[in-house]
Structure 1
C-alpha cells in the first residue's frame, strides 16, 4: 500500500497518534470534503433542495456499500447508526416462546440486552456457544447446538469490541445455512478492516457502522438484508418512507431493504459513508487487512516486552484491536497518561459492562484497547511502547 498517500489523506496524523480506530477512525480528506461540501450546499440551497440535487449521488451510496460487501444495492438500508440497524433487523424477526438464540461469549452488551428483553417479553432462550481452546467459538459445539430444532437464530460479532479473536464467520454461516437457521452478523469492527463478502459468509443479515474501520462520519451505519428474507420481514416500525398509504385503511411496505429505513436522515453523513466505502475500495480491502494485521502483530510483540504489561488477545486469527492490561496501573489511568499533551496518543478503555460474558470469564475488569489502522506506522508503535515504558508506576 501507499502509506505515504494514506497519511497525506489523513491530516490529523501530523499532530497525534491515533490508536482508537475501533472507536472512531480518522476520516480521510475525501470523506471530510464530501460531508462539508454537502453541509455548505444545504446552507446555500436549503436541505430538501440540496438532497434533491444529490439524488444520483445518494443512490450511488447503496451501490458503493453493495460493492464493499458483495451485495445488491436493494439489499442495503442506510440507517442512522449500526445499533439501530441491528435493532431493525433483530426486532423484525418473528421470534416466539421457546425459540433459541445462539450467541458468542464475546457478544456486545448492546446486542445482549435486546436478547434479554425478548426473553422477558416472549420467553425466548439464550444459549452461549462455548469457545474452543484458542478463544473463538467452537465449531463442533455450534454444530451440536444447531441440532436442536428450537434454534431460530445465530447472532454474534465478527470481532468483539474488547478485542478477542476474529470469528470463523464463513464456517459459522455454512453451519447455520445447513441447519436452516438465520444468521445475523454484527460486523461493526470488521467492515473496513477486513474483506467481508456476504455471499461467502452466508449471513442473512449484517449490521455495520460508518465511524470505525470504514473511516466514515459518526451517526451513520447500514444494514444488509438478503433479498429473499427481506420480503418476509416486517419492520418493527414504519413511516412514509418505509411504506406508503394506499387508502385510509391500508398501506403497503416497500419491497427492498429500504423498508428498514426512515424518511429523515443526515444526508451529509450518508454521502460521507458512501465516500468512505469508495475510499476503502480504492485502497484495497485485502492489502489494508494485511497491513493492519502486520501492525497489530508488531504492537503485541512490543507490548509483551514491557514489564507489568500483559497482552490479553486470544484467537487463532487476531485483528487490529490490541488489548492489554498493566498489573499496577488501571486502564483509565493508562489511557489518560497516553493522551496527555506531551504524548498525544489516543487509545481507549473497554470495560467489563460492554462484553460482560467474556470479561467475567477471564476475570478482567477492563482492558486498554489500542486499535491500529493501515495509516498507522511502525514508528508510531515505537512511540506508544516508549510512552508506556516511561509511565510512572505508583
Structure 2
C-alpha cells in the first residue's frame, strides 16, 4: 500500500517539534496509542483499577490475538510481559543446562543476553560459543553448521543487533536449529514493528519483543512467544497465581499456555496501548513499513557517506532502519549533544552494549540514527546539514 506520510505525521504531533531518529530507542507513539493509555488511566481513577480492568477484559484478550496475527502465531503461544528483556529472561532461565552443554550465539549479541549466558555458565558449567561472523558481518551459516553438534542445547541470536542496521539470517538459522532438534531463542526487540516477522517461516521456538521501539507502543510493555510444542518442557524460573494454580497445600499446577510466563500484576493501560500499536502496524502492513523504513535508511546512509570524516559502520547484506556511524575527531556523545541542541534526536551505542563486536572492530562507540516510516526526506536533509556543520 502507499502510505500517506503527511497524515501519519499529523497523527504523531511531536514530528512538528523535532527530528526523531531514535526509534530504535523508543518511537513516537501515534495518537491512538496515547489516547488508549490515557483513557484507561482515567477510567481507573473514575471507577478503580480492578473494576476498570474487568470492564476492559475483552479488549485485553484481543491483544493476544493481535500479537499472534503480527508474528503468525496462535494466541495461546503469547505472553504479555513488562519488556523484551524480561520476556527473554523468562524463556532462557526456564531452560536447563549441564556441564559441557553449549549455547551458540552471535558476535553482536546484546549485553543483557550475554550477561545471562555468563551467569548460567558460571552456575552450570555450560559453555558459551560465539559463532564467527561472515564477510558481511552477519552470523556465519557455514560456521554455525560446523559448530552445531550434540553438545549444543540452545541457539540464541539477536535478530537486529542494537548497534547497527545488520539483520541476521534468522530463517536460515531456524532451518538448521529445527533440523538439529535444538531450541532457537530469537531476540526480536529491534525487528518487530519495522520488518515482517513470521515465527513459522523463521522456525524459532521462542521470541521476545518490546512495545516501545518500532511497534510505537508504550514503554513498560512487551511480549514473549513460545512455540506450543515447547511449552510443556519449560517451567518458568518463578511462578505466581497468574502462572500457576495452587491445587493442594503441597501442590500446584502450571497453566498450559504461554501465560505461564506472566505474573499477576501488570500495566493494564500499557497492555491496551500495546494492542492499539499492534493494530496500527497491522493496518499499515509490515511489508509497506519495511519498504519505507529501509528506503529512508538507505537514503540516510548515502548522505552520510558523502560527508567528510563520516564513516557508516553498518554491517550485513540485509540492512534495516538503524544507521550507525562515526565522525572523525568527535566522540559519539558529543555528536549526540550537538544534534540534540538543534532538536534532532539520536542515540549512542558503546562497547558495553555489544562488547564482542565492538572490540573486534576496534570501535569505542557509535552514533545510532534510527528512522521510522513517519520520518521524511526533509528531516534526513536537515540531519545531514546539522551533522556537517561542525
TM range (shorter): over 0.9
Where does 1:153-192 land on structure 2 (aligned, <5 Å)?
153-192=154-193
Q: Is the partner of 1:203 in helix, strand or coil? A: coil
Equivalent position SS for 1:379:
helix
Q: Which residue of 2 aligns with 1:264?
A: 265
Cα deviation digits, residues 188-207 of structure 1 (max 9, x gap): 00000100000000000000
Pair 1:100 & 2:102 matched = yes
Provide the rounded CA distance (Å) in 2 between the counterparts of 1:45 and 1:92.
Answer: 38
What is the number of residues matched between the two proteins?
388
In structure 2, C-alpha distance between the alignment counterparts of 1:277 and 1:163, rounded to whole Å: 24
Query: Are residues 1:232 and 2:206 paired?
Result: no
Shift of 1:16: 0.6
Find out whether 1:376 has 2:375 as its counterpart.
yes
Task: Show CA shifts across 1:215-251 (max 9, x none).
Answer: 0000111000000101111010000110011111111
Could you say what secondary structure the match of 2:45 adopts? helix
TM-score relative to the length of structure 2: 0.99
Partner Cα distance (1:281, 1:4) in 2? 19
Give the drift of 1:8.
1.3
Gapped regions of structure 2 (runs ≥ 5): none
Q: Which deviations, in whole Å up to 9, do the C-alpha atoms of 1:50-99 show, x marking residues without a partner?
A: 00000000000000000000000000000011111000000001222211
Distance in 1, Cα, partners of 2:261 & 2:206: 12
Q: Is the 8 A contact 2:99 2:124 kept in 1?
A: yes
Q: Does 1:46 align with 2:54?
A: no
Q: Is 1:390 the equivalent of 2:383? A: no
Question: Unaligned regions of 5+ residues in structure 1, if any?
Answer: none
Measure the CA separation in 1 of the matches of 2:55 and 2:381: 48
Name 1:362's counterpart in structure 2.
361
**Residue 245 in structure 1 maps to residue 246 in structure 2:** yes
User: Aligned to 1:156, what secondary structure does the other structure show?
Assistant: strand
CA apart distance, 1:13: 0.1
Q: CA deviation at 1:142?
A: 0.6
Determine if the alignment matches structure 1 residue 81 to structure 2 residue 80. no
Counterparts of 2:280 and 2:292, CA distance in 1: 16
Would you say the 8 A contact 1:134–1:315 is kept in 2? Answer: yes
Partners of 1:195 and 1:205 in 2: CA distance: 16
* CA distance in structure 2 between the partners assigned to 1:355 and 1:319 by the alignment: 18
TM-score, length of structure 1 as denominator length: 0.98
Q: 1:22 maps to what in 2? A: 24
The runs of 4+ residues in structure 1 deviating greater than 3 Å are none
2:145 aligned partner: 143
For the 8 Å contact 1:31–1:273, the answer to whether it is kept is yes
8 Å Cα contact 2:245-2:254 kept in structure 1: yes
Q: Distance in 2 between matches of 1:306 and 1:111?
A: 35
Secondary structure of the 2:363 match is: coil
Aligned to 1:293: 294
CA distance in structure 2 between the aligned counterparts of 1:240 and 1:15, rounded to whole angstroms:
45
1:194 aligns with 2:195: yes
Residue of structure 1 equivalent to 2:125: 123
Is 1:338–2:339 an aligned residue pair? Answer: yes
Q: CA deviation at 1:9?
A: 1.1
Conserved 8 A contact 1:135-1:164: no
**1:164 Cα offset (Å):** 4.2
| Contact 2:165-2:321 within 8 A present in 1 as well | no
